[in-house]
């Protein structure tokens, strides 16, 4: 297992599959200024997740 796969595996174990999927999606979709331009509604629709899960994950990221 390479380092990236190991890192993703550890993050999934700590945060759970959905939150780690959201975080990976956010990282993969930052613009050139490192800003994420999706709304909560767009994020939920794109990843097929609930609004509370999206908000909880974004709050977790902003707190850290």
Q: What is the pLDDT of residues 5-19, one digit of tens each?
A: 888 888 888 888 899
Identify which of 25, 28, 11, 14 has the alpha carbon closest to the alpha carbon of residue 54: 25
Q: Which helix (H) or strand (E) holds 60?
A: helix 51-63
pLDDT in the model for residue 5: 85
Partnered with residue 30 across adjacent β-strands are 36
Note the pLDDT of residue 60: 92
Instruction: Quote the pTM value.
Output: 0.83
Residue 17 CB-density burial (10 A; 0-12 exposed, 13-18 middle, 19+ buried): exposed
pLDDT digits (tens, 9 = 90+) for 3-54: 888 888 888 888 888 999 999 999 999 999 999 999 999 999 999 999 999 9
- Which pLDDT does position 2 carry in this prediction? 86
């Amino acid at each position: 297992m390479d380092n990236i796969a190991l890192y993703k595996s550890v993050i999934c174990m700590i945060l759970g599959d959905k939150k780690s999927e959201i975080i990976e999606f956010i990282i993969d979709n930052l613009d050139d200024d490192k800003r994420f331009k999706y709304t909560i509604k767009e994020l939920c629709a794109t990843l097929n997740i609930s609004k509370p899960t999206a908000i909880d994950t974004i709050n977790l990221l902003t707190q850290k």
